[in-house]
Structure 1
Amino acid sequence: MTRIAAVHGVLPPHRYEQSEITAAVAAMSLPHQAERSLLDRLHATSGVGARHLALPLEQYAGVTGFGQANDLFIEQASRLGEQAIAAALAEAGIAAHEVDLVVCTSVTGIAAPSLEARMAGRLGLRPDVKRVPVFGLGCVGGAAGIARLHDYLTGHPDQVAVLLSVELCSLTLQRADITPANLVAGALFGDGAAALVAVGARHRLAGRAPGPTVTASRSRLYPGTEGALGWEIGDSGFRIVLGAELPELVRLHVGEEVRSFLSEHDLKPPDVTAWVCHPGGPRILDALGETLQLDATAMELTRRSLHEVGNLSSASVLHILRDTLALRPPPAGTPGLLLAMGPGFCSELVLLRW
């Protein structure tokens, strides 16, 4: 049994309404009115009302290359990540020197030394803390990170593990790319970070921390779908790969994956009292809800998060898990399911018990 002791989300201070971001992106990237009409339509139907950005909106026009964007990523991500971990540890009542493992996931920048190494001394982590920096999981990284913490704590039940997710999607903006995929990404993704603290079954907090327990997980790659989602990395940085077939892949694969996983634990979708779903976008959420026959309330917190802060890539499910704990905690003893999808094309499922 792995117990979630705390989850804390952090957002950059620069918040903008979607209409403000639309206008700024158009001014930087779109020379023709026909393209502006498409941009307006995509932004208006994205389900996003506002987003937080790593930089003031007017500074993005001056970010002209991958190196500059990545330097800004390291600077801003280190600051946000440190805030998230410090606050999560404080909420859990755990000192930094008690942490045995840190898993750090991000897909919007590259750092060596990795982010958690850069902030370890300032946070007070032990010099012998185990570190697992992860790049490439994309939006699935938050769910996969919880699953890997659970794997570790199952073997080390008296220890403490921390998951950190930092995603600064705005710094990946490709200003010269006016393909529909890039315009959709520019309509959906926001910036944010989150940290989760978990303890093993023999830790002093295992029986009294406020969060749910993690009871099982499942990772799944879907062969032949590798080109549907990810990055193409070139001189200008990260260029989004976002296939139009993604909603259909969700219908074909993810719904059956969820039903199969739940059935292994003698559960069906109606038994789940909390759905903590990655907010991939309205079409993805519609496809997931349809294939699982969920009612409108099941993903209400997910759609709310998408509207208020956008898609935060791997950090989103951690923000939504925090919101579930704070705003709509399920009845004790009932099951919850945390799920996300990412490049591969893949899914990660985490079964929770409240």
Structure 2
Amino acid sequence: MPAFIHHIATETPEFIYSNEFARERMKGWVTEPRAKRMVEMIYERTGIETRYSASDDFLRDDGVLFRTLSDGTINSPTTGERNALYAKAARELAVRLARKTLAECAVFEKGEITHVVFASCTGFANPGPDYHIIRELGLNESVERYTVGFMGCYAAFPALRMAAQFCEANPQAVVLVMCLELCSLHLQVSDRPESIVANALFADGAAAALVSAREPAGERPYYRLQGFQSALIPSGETHMAWDIGDHGFNMVLSAYVPELIGSNIREMVGGILEKRGLGLAEVDEWAVHPGGRAILDQIEEQLGLPGEALEMSRGVLRDYGNMSSPTVMFVLKGFLEEAETERAMTCAIAFGPGLTVETAVLERCGAAVGTARGEGKGEKVALGEAVGMLDAGG
């Protein structure tokens, strides 16, 4: 019995700022002239124009977490201080997104939700956002809750796979899957190249999906889940890692990551598709996690994809940055909203610490009617505009 993604909804925190603003702010915070030049170069090459944050500290000298010291440098908040803001902001964002998801998808009543699967790697709280979703939305208190923790950018796939397995085991199951990350709370102001790269790429956001085995009515596009596959690139174990330090979570992100992914991706994806009786040429839509512009360039080149194949991924990177686990769901949502054909075979790919590669094969069914990308995103507090530096963005 197949499971279906009936709807995907996305949400971001209220604060938005431009890449130019972030670049200039970071140049002011790093100390070494070489680091300032590195900030200039790296931020120019990210492919990001705007990103969102749960904190407005980046425009203030007296922020809650990040405060400018008398010598012009920035303080380093403790992990506890960062996590306290995560607990508050994640709860608010999760509840808002859950309400939005159910409001946008009229197929299910809130009383029909049987499971909540919550994925995050940027904070910890118990009771956490999954608990508050049930209490504040008035879901049944018997709803089963599961947390997919600390997996990183690929966590959407284990969460969706878990939801599909629940639905296959129980045809009456209706699963709310949510990925929520507040990466900006773990900003590490340092002259080290890996810190500068992480600060230049990561941002905050959340995405949710409603999954069940109920056959969709076909009134709006949906995904039929065909299968999932996990794979490892052991040679990349030391090149991408994520651990907890005394002053936030520490990201190890080597410049070799795009090359490592590129040198392995064709064999890995080809083998995964072959198990489904598919070839590369039979994939109509590529929903690739935009971990960075260089990663997308490598995948496009190594898989021999046409120039427009990763346009959706590049658009999400441009408008939102790398939000870790929700990001690939933003891409999948974009394909639903812009669907022009009744059917398309979709291959979704994400990467994370390890290096871990997670893939999903989905069949996108139904063409969109009267929808537009970004519709219903809501008003945001455009912090970049306050200083005259915000570019137009998604």
The alignment's TM-score, normalised by the length of structure 2, stands at 0.85
Partner Cα separation in structure 2 for residue 232 and residue 178 of structure 1: 19
Identity of aligned residues (%): 29
Return the letter of the residue paired with 2:54.
Answer: A
Q: Could you tell me how far 1:256 is from its partner in structure 2?
A: 1.2
Q: Residue 115 of structure 2 aligns with which residue? A: 101
Q: Could you tell me how far 1:338 is from its partner in structure 2?
A: 1.2
**Residue 97 of structure 2 is aligned to residue 84 of structure 1:** yes
**Residue 39 of structure 2 is aligned to residue 39 of structure 1:** yes
Q: Could you tell me how far 1:209 is from its partner in structure 2?
A: 5.7
Q: Deviations over 1:323-342 (max 9, x none)?
A: 11112x15223311111011
Partner Cα separation in structure 2 for residue 315 and residue 163 of structure 1: 11
Q: Deviations over 1:285-329 (max 9, x none)?
A: 1111111111111100100110111011001011111111112x1
Return the letter of the residue paired with 2:244.
Answer: I
> Which deviates further from its counterpart, 47-56 or 214-223?
214-223
Q: 3-state DSSP class of the match of 1:212?
A: strand
Q: Residue 7 of structure 1 aligns with which residue? A: 8
Q: Deviations over 1:136-167 (max 9, x none)?
A: 21000113222221222121222101111111
Residues 3, 209 of structure 1: 8 Å contact kept: no
Return the letter of the residue paired with 1:105.
Answer: A
Return the letter of the residue paired with 2:322.
Answer: N
Residues 114, 143 of structure 2: 8 Å contact kept: yes
Q: Residue 335 of structure 2 aligns with which residue? A: 324
Q: Residue 114 of structure 1 aligns with which residue? A: 128
Q: Deviations over 1:223-243 (max 9, x none)?
A: 343222121321112011112
5 Å-filtered alignment, 1:241-252, equals 241-252=252-263
Partner Cα separation in structure 2 for residue 37 and residue 222 of structure 1: 32
Q: Deviations over 1:55-91 (max 9, x none)?
A: 1122352372211111111111111111111111222
5 Å-filtered alignment, 1:130-145, equals 130-145=144-159
Return the letter of the residue paired with 2:352.
Answer: G
5 Å-filtered alignment, 1:156-175, equals 156-175=170-189
Partner Cα separation in structure 1 for residue 128 and residue 48 of structure 2: 31
Partner Cα separation in structure 1 for residue 252 and residue 147 of structure 2: 23
Q: 3-state DSSP class of the match of 1:9?
A: strand
Partner Cα separation in structure 2 for residue 234 and residue 334 of structure 1: 44
Partner Cα separation in structure 2 for residue 251 and residue 220 of structure 1: 14
> Which deviates further from its counterpart, 286-295 or 208-217?
208-217
Partner Cα separation in structure 2 for residue 330 and residue 217 of structure 1: 25
Residues 4, 210 of structure 1: 8 Å contact kept: no
CA RMSD of aligned residues (A): 1.7
Partner Cα separation in structure 2 for residue 173 and residue 21 of structure 1: 12
Q: 3-state DSSP class of the match of 1:339?
A: strand
5 Å-filtered alignment, 1:165-314, equals 165-175=179-189, 177-200=190-213, 203=214, 205=216, 210-314=221-325
Residues 2, 206 of structure 1: 8 Å contact kept: no
Q: Could you tell me how far 1:208 is from its partner in structure 2?
A: 5.5
Partner Cα separation in structure 2 for residue 288 and residue 330 of structure 1: 24
Residues 265, 303 of structure 2: 8 Å contact kept: no
Residues 143, 338 of structure 1: 8 Å contact kept: no
Return the letter of the residue paired with 1:184.
Answer: V
Return the letter of the residue paired with 2:83.
Answer: N
Return the letter of the residue paired with 1:340.
Answer: A
Q: Could you tell me how far 1:207 is from its partner in structure 2?
A: 6.0
Partner Cα separation in structure 1 for residue 344 and residue 216 of structure 2: 20
Partner Cα separation in structure 1 for residue 254 and residue 55 of structure 2: 28
The alignment's TM-score, normalised by the length of structure 1, stands at 0.94
Q: 3-state DSSP class of the match of 2:341?
A: coil
Partner Cα separation in structure 1 for residue 101 and residue 203 of structure 2: 21
Partner Cα separation in structure 2 for residue 290 and residue 74 of structure 1: 41
Partner Cα separation in structure 2 for residue 211 and residue 117 of structure 1: 27
Partner Cα separation in structure 2 for residue 166 and residue 10 of structure 1: 9
Q: 3-state DSSP class of the match of 2:234?
A: coil
> Which deviates further from its counterpart, 36-45 or 104-113?
104-113
Note the residue ranges of structure 1 that are not aligned, 5 or more in a row.
none
Deviation >6 Å, runs of 4+: none
Q: Could you tell me how far 1:244 is from its partner in structure 2?
A: 2.3
Note the residue ranges of structure 2 that are not aligned, 5 or more in a row.
68-75, 365-394
Q: Could you tell me how far 1:102 is from its partner in structure 2?
A: 1.0
Return the letter of the residue paired with 2:267.
Answer: E
Q: Residue 61 of structure 1 aligns with which residue? A: 66
Q: Deviations over 1:181-223 (max 9, x none)?
A: 11001111111111111111xx364666631111111112333
Q: 3-state DSSP class of the match of 1:80?
A: helix
Residues 87, 128 of structure 2: 8 Å contact kept: no
Residues 274, 330 of structure 1: 8 Å contact kept: no
